[in-house]
């Protein structure tokens, strides 16, 4: 048992998988000599060489395309895109090629590629470096989408993603890299959610960094209002473990989904629709969603905080839902 940060846990997963399988390669901007701008690949180029840990030009469409070619010809590439905002430069490669090749070749071609990237606000990085675009990729058949919230989940899910024979978008929140945890040594299957905290009055489904805001809100709701929140971290957004979420809602009879991306067409509205379709008779009040405001992420810390969901917004919404119920 050892305590690692989120960034160290990712580094350890990369190291272990590269040691296990020499077909695993890593490529991206500054991932080699520098060790990655988020320090998740420190020491890997020195250990595995420049042919397996490759510093690329600043050309996302080119190196993502190269990685797809490498994947279908036998390698297992991990591609790091520094900010998810930059992934838009490679959407043709990801959406029109990686996501569809296995289907279009009747299953004869595998595309074992992991595209790991960093999302989210909270560092004053402004509109070009702070987006949460997970819903975009959840919409695309053929892609799996993972958003781990804890160091243990980051390591366990990354190991599973690297072993996966289909393309995986692996999204890390930039505020989570320093978070520490005693790691549980396990490989976590894609598509399996986790009940972070048991409760009886309402189910909170929270993704990525929002998990921590939901937990803080739940502490206050219990202490000040005697409201018991069950908290679920989906961990994988495509596919989603609806069985666990719906089972929880049938127990608590209320639900609130919290995510950082803007609410319009977000993953929360999709979860809410499936829960409503499958647990309508158990609901005491409509399923609610808290997401970011429908605007670009501001540069100002004050405005940035106003745009993304907060602990207070979660507390107020939970009280509102239960009062209506």
CA distance from start to end of the chain: 44
Structural domain contains residue 189? no
Structural domain contains residue 319? yes
Burial bucket for residue 158 (CB in 10 Å: 0-12, 13-18, 19+): buried
For residues 139-154, average pLDDT? 98
User: Would you say residue 216 has pLDDT above 90?
Assistant: yes
Range of the domain at 83: 3-182
The 10s digit of each residue's pLDDT in 51-77 is 999 999 999 999 999 999 999 999 999
* 172 has catalytic annotation: no
CATH of the domain at 255: 3.40.50.920
Backbone CA torsion sign across 78, 44, 235, 212: negative
251 and 173, same domain (yes or no): no
Q: Considering its fold, how many domains does the chain have in total?
A: 2
For residues 180-198, average pLDDT? 94
pTM above 0.95, yes or no: yes
**At CA 27, angle to CA 25 and CA 30, rounded to 5?**
135
176 and 215, same domain (yes or no): no
310 and 235, same domain (yes or no): yes
62 and 151, same domain (yes or no): yes
Structural domain contains residue 187? no
Catalytic residue among 8, 17, 60, 134: 60
279 and 147, same domain (yes or no): no
What is the predicted pLDDT for the residue at 167? Answer: 98
169 and 280, same domain (yes or no): no
What is the predicted pLDDT for the residue at 230? Answer: 98
* 173 has catalytic annotation: no
Catalytic residue among 8, 80, 129, 134: 129
229 and 295, same domain (yes or no): yes
């Amino acid at each position: 048992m050892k305590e690692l940060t989120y960034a160290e846990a990712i580094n350890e997963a990369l190291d272990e998988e590269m040691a296990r399988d020499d077909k695993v390669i890593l490529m991206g901007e500054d991932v080699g000599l520098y060790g990655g701008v988020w320090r998740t690949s420190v020491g890997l180029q020195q250990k595995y060489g420049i042919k397996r840990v490759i510093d690329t030009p600043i050309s996302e469409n080119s190196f993502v395309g190269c990685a797809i070619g490498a994947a279908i010809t036998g390698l297992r590439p991990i591609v790091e895109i520094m900010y998810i905002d930059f992934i838009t430069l490679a959407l043709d490669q990801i959406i029109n090629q990686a996501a569809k090749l296995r289907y279009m070749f009747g299953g004869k071609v595998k595309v074992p590629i992991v595209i790991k990237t960093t999302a989210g606000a909270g560092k004053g990085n402004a509109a070009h470096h702070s987006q949460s675009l997970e819903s975009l990729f959840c919409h695309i058949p053929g892609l799996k989408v993972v958003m781990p919230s804890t160091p243990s989940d980051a390591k366990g899910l990354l190991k599973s993603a690297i072993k996966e024979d289909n393309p995986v978008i692996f999204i890390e929140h930039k505020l989570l890299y320093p978070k520490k945890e005693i790691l549980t040594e396990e490989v976590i299957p894609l598509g399996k959610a986790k009940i972070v905290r048991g409760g009886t009055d309402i189910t909170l489904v929270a993704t990525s960094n929002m998990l921590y805001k939901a937990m803080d809100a739940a502490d206050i709701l219990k202490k000040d209002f005697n409201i018991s929140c069950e908290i679920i971290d989906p961990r994988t957004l495509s596919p989603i473990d609806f069985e666990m979420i719906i089972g929880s809602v049938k127990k608590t009879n209320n639900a609130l989904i919290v995510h950082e991306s803007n609410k319009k067409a977000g993953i929360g509205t999709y979860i809410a629709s499936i829960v409503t379709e499958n647990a309508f008779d158990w609901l005491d009040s409509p399923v609610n969603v808290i997401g970011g405001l429908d605007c670009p992420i501001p540069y100002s810390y004050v405005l940035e905080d106003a745009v993304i969901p907060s602990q207070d917004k979660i507390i107020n919404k939970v009280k509102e839902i239960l009062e209506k119920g």
